[in-house]
Amino acid sequence: MNSALAAAIAILGVMPSAIGEGLVCAHIVDGMSRNPEMYSKLRTTMIIACALVETTAIYSLLISILILFTK
């Protein structure tokens, strides 16, 4: 019970990361609509940036998994 609660608190760390990912996507879409011929280049950059931003979310996911599954 306690470890489940701790894992639930730890997973809250994905919230800011989701906001950050949304910001990345929003600005990339801005750039695409302003400059449509850059579409493919911007898409590659967006995927890499999303993977980098995701890292912090993955840290908290990792910690919550560790809390749940280690006795």
CB of 61 to other proteins, least distance (A): 5
CB of 20 to other proteins, least distance (A): 15
Total Cβ atoms within 10 A of residue 65: 13
Question: Given the complex with other proteins, which of 29 and 48 has the nearer CB atom?
Answer: 48
Cβ 24 vs Cβ 45: under 8 Å: no
- How many helices (H) and strands (E) the chain has is answered by 3, 0
Question: Given the complex with other proteins, which of 31 and 59 has the nearer CB atom?
Answer: 59
Question: Given the complex with other proteins, which of 24 and 36 has the nearer CB atom?
Answer: 24
Which residues are near other proteins by CB under 8 A?
47-48, 51-52, 55, 58-59, 61-62, 65, 69
User: Rounded CA gap, 8 and 17, in Å?
Assistant: 16
